[in-house]
Chain A
Amino acid sequence: QVTLKESGPGILQPSQTLSLTCSFSGFSLSTYGMCVGWIRQSSGKGLEWLANIWWNDDKYYNPSLKNRLTISKDTSNNQAFLKITNMDTADTATYYCARSVGFAYWGQGTLVTVSS
């Protein structure tokens, strides 16, 4: 059974760095062809892809946010991570992680609020 679960700080101040963790089970990020992605959704809005990391450590970033994003993984502990620097109120959203190139499985999401 594939499960993913996101965790984050809940609230942070403008200009701070957001650190998110995706803890998963039922698959391994060391398996050929496997990947995990991060997607966010502002309240009442659509889905925005942020970044993906592959089994071979290839990384892809949304060009509109690329300079602010860092994705990484800990294969041994079945975790993936996303850091976003210089957070702004416009980055307030629910952040999801999802498995595989077509996002077949999703976590429950973690709400991140940026507020002073």
Chain B
Amino acid sequence: DIQMTQSPSSMSVSLGDTVTITCRASQDVGIYVNWFQQKPGKSPRRMIYRATNLADGVPSRFSGSRSGSDYSLTISSLESEDVADYHCLQYDEYPPWTFGGGTKLELK
């Protein structure tokens, strides 16, 4: 099974920060990585698909990138509405579909 190792598990942030969250895949997953935002009590929302593509309605301060087996989600100029949990997902090789362990953003 492919493992997605997500880091950090939590992060203390300030408004206006540039935030980067990373998932490392245990084997090649190509472009098949999505990023999701999840706010308390809500279902996950897809933010980035196929590693680098912005989903519909997602602000342009969000971006996705890939370097080898490392996949990153970057939020430029963090706004208060961005404080949430974030999850990565690989869907290149399944079953199983595998998620990263999640990253919790908290305001300082």
The interface residues of chain A lying within 8 Å CB-to-CB of B87 are 46-47
Question: B49 touches which one: A39, A96, A104 (CB < 8 A)?
Answer: A104
Q: Cβ of B46: which chain A residues have Cβ within 8 Å of it?
A: 102-105
Partner of B44, one of A37, A52, A61, A106: A106
B96 near A: Cβ within 8 Å? yes
Which of A29-77 touch B at CB < 8 Å? 37, 39, 46-49, 52, 60-63
Known interface pairs A103-B44, A106-B44; A48-B32 also in contact (CB < 8 Å):
no
Contact A49 B32 (CB under 8 A): no
Q: A101 at the A/B interface (Cβ < 8 Å)?
A: yes
* CB-based contact B43/A52 at 8 Å: no
Q: Chain B residues near A102 (CB, 8 Å)?
A: 32, 34, 46, 49-50, 89, 91
* Residues from chain B with Cβ under 8 Å of A96 in the complex: 43-44
Partner of A103 from the list B34, B42, B101 (CB cut-off 8 Å) is B34
Size band of the interface chain A makes with B:
20 to 34
The SS class assigned to the B binding surface is: loop
Option from A47, A61, A104 in Cβ contact (under 8 Å) with B95: A61
Residues on the B chain within 8 Å of A61, using CB: 95
Contact B34 A60 (CB under 8 A): no
B65-96 CB mask vs A (1 if < 8 Å, else 0) is 00000000000000000000001010100111
Decide: A47 and B91 in contact? CB cutoff 8 A. no
Compute how far the CA of A62 lies from the CA of B46 in the bound complex, rounded to whole angstroms: 22
Say whether B97 contacts A37, CB under 8 Å: yes
B100 at the interface (CB under 8 A from A): yes
Distance between Cα atoms of A96 and B42 in the complex (Å): 11
Q: Which B residues are within 8 Å of any A CB, using their own CB?
A: 1, 32, 34, 36, 42-46, 49-50, 55, 87, 89, 91, 94-102
Q: Give me 8 A-to-B residue pairs in the complex whose CB atoms sit less than 8 angstroms apart, sorted by A's number.
A: A46-B101, A62-B95, A101-B91, A102-B34, A102-B49, A102-B89, A103-B46, A104-B55
